[in-house]
Amino acid sequence: MLNTEISARKNDAISRGVGMTTQIYADKAENSEIWDVEGRRYIDFAGGIAVLNTGHRHPKVVDAVKKQLDRFTHTCHQVVPYENYVALAERLNTLTPGNFEKKTIFATTGAEAVENAIKIARCATGRSAVIAFTGGFHGRTFMGMALTGKVVPYKVGFGPMMGDVFHVPFPLELHGISVETSLDVLDKLFKADVDPKRVAAIIVEPVQGEGGFYDVPRALMKALREICDAHGILLVADEVQTGFARTGKLFAMEHYDVQPDLITMAKSLAGGFPLSAVTGRAELMDAPGPGGLGGTYAGNPLAIAAAHAVLDVIEEEKLIDRANHLGARLKQRLESLRAEFPQIIDIRGPGFMNAVEFGVPGTDRPNADFTNAVRVKALEKGLILLTCGVYSNVIRFLAPITIQDEVFNEALDIIEASIRDVAA
Ligand code: PMP
């Protein structure tokens, strides 16, 4: 089968609303490599959008899922519960930041985790308003979409949005938006638009994912916690993209001296199986009445089994240390190109949650064309890259943290060669 043939069928059969980064159809995958239906090999620096911190088909994950597959695949935890669901909740209650009593629920997607976090926050506070950040991404469901701080393509044609959602500018020192500006706008919001006593939650990604891999400055996180405490608002950390060793800590919130009340997680939690979770203060998590939370597939046993294996692998293979090591090497290689290529305006990111941002030399304009050209060139050379950022001028790197050294070196060479080719 040819990629082009399947693509033509796809165009006839699937809504164009499902956007495509590549048109290579997967045949098989192993750790950090994918082979397409034509037998061509690619290095995967997308990781299924931050899902594969432990790589494709990690043997321990595969083994755990196979064992579960042979026992049962679905009962619905709300009907006939199973122990590994409870055990995973216990693990997350212990592993997540926050030295207070916690409880957990499971769902299936990141967007559902966000929906549930807001439901819990509203129920626990008796308030309705929610504050999020420009450039933030929280999913494609109605609340997720309303919270997301980017109109094109996420909100176009889907209105009206959920009410009582407000956005504050995310601080971007690189682009002249300071922490003071963000906090000033938040203050004005409280004066002009919403009584802080009506605000249930402030939701923030510790490192914006889709928005461009910008991390929350420490001063902002500290101020958010103080503002939340002053007004009885809950702080929700959306760790869907940042969690599970990506940032060089198990959770990105560990980089801050601040504890969130609720944490949403998904993606790399279950290494390729659909699973998400909300973990938070026990008393908040218990606010909704029985039956108010859950879902038919929420906490599917195969995905739960995979998640246990993922947590084991992160620990056994010291993936937190490995993330810091790989990220340092990637940033070093990119830094070595900075002097030669004025298009590179920033290289950043904690741990292995790294990105390079491109601008038009001699201006302060974002360079989406250059960014996309590098992505396309890298794909031609056998490396799958993802872009991000409100102006699509950032390449983000989401390779498996389990990537082998020789494959990683090969990828670094392709990144360099692609930038060289496009700049030439
Ligand atoms: N929150 C964040 C921070 C995300 O990065 C994403 C997905 N990119 C989501 C929520 C939504 O997750 P899902 O696509 O699994 O619904």
Q: What is the ipTM of this complex?
A: 0.99
The CATH architecture assigned to 72-316 reads: 3-Layer(aba) Sandwich (3.40)
Closest C-alpha residue for ligand 1 atom 15: 110
Q: Phi first, then psi: what are they for 344, rounded to 5°?
A: -75, 115
How far does residue 375's CA lie from ligand 1's centre (Å)?
A: 22
As a whole number of angstroms, the distance between CA 63 and CA 69 comes to 10
Question: Sorting pLDDT into bands at 50, 70 and 90, what band is 50?
Answer: very high
As a whole number of angstroms, the distance between CA 390 and CA 383 comes to 23
How far does residue 335's CA lie from ligand 1's centre (Å)?
A: 29
User: Where do the domains of the chain lie?
Assistant: 3-57+318-423, 72-316
* CA 68, 27, 12, 383 torsion-angle sign: positive
pLDDT in tens, 9-38: 999 999 999 999 999 999 999 999 999 999
Which residues line ligand 1 at a C-beta cut-off of 6 Å? 49, 109-111, 114, 137-139, 205, 209-210, 238, 240-241, 266
The CATH architecture assigned to 3-57+318-423 reads: Alpha-Beta Complex (3.90)
Mutation choice for ligand 1 from 251, 267, 273, CB with most ligand atoms inside 8 A: 267
pLDDT of residue 414: 98
Mutation choice for ligand 1 from 51, 130, 138, CB with most ligand atoms inside 8 A: 138
How far does residue 210's CA lie from ligand 1's centre (Å)?
A: 9
Average pLDDT over the chain, rounded to an integer: 98
pLDDT in tens, 320-359: 999 999 999 999 999 999 999 999 999 999 999 999 999 9
Question: Sorting pLDDT into bands at 50, 70 and 90, what band is 262?
Answer: very high
How far does residue 240's CA lie from ligand 1's centre (Å)?
A: 6
How far does residue 50's CA lie from ligand 1's centre (Å)?
A: 9
